[in-house]
Every structure is written in structure tokens, then in C-alpha cells.
Amino acid sequence: MVRFLVVLSVVFLSAPATLAANGHAIKQRADAVLTLMSYTVVPDVTASDLNIGSGSNDKHNLAITQFGGGATLSESFPLYLEGTMGYSRYDPRFVVSNGEQTRNVPTKWNSLTTTGGVGWDFSLHRDRFGGNLVLRPIVNVMLGTLASDARLGSWVIERKTNAELQFLDGGRFNALGLGGALMLDYERFSATQDIDAELRYSYMHLQSFGSSAEVVQGEASAENLGLYLRRRAPIADWTLLGNPLRYVLEGAHTAYLGEQRGALGFSGLTSLGIGLELDSSKYPVFITRTRLVARYMFGNNTTGYGVGLAMSF
């Protein structure tokens, strides 16, 4: 069964109002953006929608959009393939001076990531209810890019000769990530209910390359341990499109490790979701099931709301 997940989320990140536009400050922000990229390179329900704040009125917007899916080809050939695309936009501010005047310059940093994974299912146990427990090692690779857009103005452009300002005004860098994951996956499908349970450890190292300014280089690591649970079952005798209409209950918890631990003010996130599943398998369409799930996320001083759309083929 092939599953694709679409998640759209908006994050509000509190940060200092301005930073000086020097190499060290921009390098710090390059590392920070790679760290933010790391939240989109691994499938993670809990990080799909966040609201992060410290009580300050000086906030820079961070928006994250994620699309991804994964599937095992068949039981006879249990090759597992997964892919994720993520987009983020972060709006930091820098102080820029031309020697006579100093201005607060807003910038827009847009990043796009694509992650692919290849794994193999090793069946560990089949229970008397028809459930199957598999061990799934996965190798992942990621490619990403970040572009900076700033409205520096001619008064700065005429004098800007350093690499830092060149990067702020239309600069970009690329990122490469290599890593892997190890997953325990239990699935049980029946007429009365479907149960999914996943325990996944993921690690990926991200490194920038191909920057338009040599001074702007960054690196970060994504490392987490996630638990995901889901139950789907018919709602009484309700039917739609000739099939039972199902409710969906899900829960997830992600513990962030390494550099991700505390990077956004929390060490872990929990998600609770409820939704509906529509079965269209009796009709000549390539989408067999569609799920719409509303989620509530929470962690250390962090709350969020999100909506997930999933389709099976």
C-alpha cells in the first residue's frame, strides 16, 4: 500500500530584532537555517505545525510546508521507498551600514529540500491476528537549496564589496545531507480495524556547498526518535461511496536528540489527531483511500494545530 502525506504548517519563531551583517552573524544564521531544514528532511508528524514564542513582540516568521510518502512494494519483494519535499521561509533582520548611515534590513530566506530513502523490510513476527512486525533499515540522501533576498537599496549596493552583503542580496547556497534510519513497523489490517505502530530512529548530517559567498557556510545534524500510533475503524454502520466510513485516531511523540534538542526551545513534541477516512476503492479512480486528520501538537512552551491529508493508492 502506497501512502502519501501532505502537511502545510506555519511557524512563528521569536528571535532578536536585528543582527549585524558580518560574516560571523550570517554564518550563525546559515547554521540556523540548516537546522530548520533538518525538521523537514525526516517524516515527522509532530513538527508539522508549531507556534513558538518567548513573549517578545519582535518576531520573525518561519513557514514550513511538507509533502511526502512511503511504501513497501510487495511482501514478495519488500523494497521500501520513501520521499519527502520540504519548503521553509525565514525572515531574519540584519543591521547594514554604508559608513555614514545604519539601517535595519529585512531579508527573506527561502529553502527547498528533497529527501529520498531506500530500505528493506525484514519480517520478524506474524501474530495470530494477522499483524506483521518488520525491521526496516533505511538509507537517506537529501539535497536542498537556500536563497536570500534583501532590499538593500542603492545606497548600500554602490558600496557593498564584501561577501556578506553580496550573500544577503540575492545570494544562495546548496545543502547535501546523508544519513539513515532504523524502523520497527507493525501493521494489522482487517475488516473491523486497521492498526499501525512505528518506532523510528533517524539521523542525517547536513552540509552546505556551492555558496555564492565563501564566508557563508553551514552544517547541522538531524537526529530524533519517533513513535507513531494509528487506529482506523468503521463508524457504526455508516457507509459512503459503497464502503464503510472510518474514523481515524492517531498519536505520535518525537524526542529530538543531538543538535536538534532544544534548537527551537523544546526537546520533544507530542501530537494527537482525529479524523475521517473515505474509501473509494469501488470506483475506477487511482486513489483508493483518502484521510483528513486534524492534529494538536504540544511540547515545552510550544503548541500547534495542523491538518493532514493522506491518500492511499
Q: pLDDT tens for residues 159-208?
A: 554 555 556 666 677 899 999 999 999 999 998 999 999 999 999 999 98
DSSP 25: H
C-alpha distances in Å from residue 292, one per residue of 72, 282, 303: 22, 19, 20
Residues 6+ apart with CB under 8 A from 284: none
Q: How confident is the model at residue 18 (pLDDT cuts 50, 70, 90)?
A: very low
Identify which of 89-98, 205-214, 220-229 has the greatest average pLDDT: 220-229
Residues 6+ apart with CB under 8 A from 82: 43, 68, 69, 70, 71, 116, 117, 119, 138
DSSP 34: H
Domain that holds residue 148: 2-312
What's residue 55's pLDDT?
Answer: 46
Please choose, from the candidates 44, 171, 182, the residue with its C-alpha nearest in 3D space to the C-alpha of residue 109. Answer: 171
Cell of 222: 538531524
The residues facing 270 across adjacent strands are 253, 298
What's residue 13's pLDDT?
Answer: 35
Does the pLDDT at position 215 exceed 60?
no
Q: Assign residue 106 the CATH number of its domain.
A: 2.40.128
pTM: 0.80
What's residue 287's pLDDT?
Answer: 86
- Rounded mean pLDDT of 146-158? 56
Torsion angle, CA of 218/86/121/234, rounded to 10 degrees? 150
Q: How confident is the model at residue 65 (pLDDT cuts 50, 70, 90)?
A: confident
d(CA 227, CA 45): 10
Number of separate domains in the chain = 1
Cell of 218: 553551514
- Tens of pLDDT, residues 80-106: 999 988 887 777 666 665 566 666 666
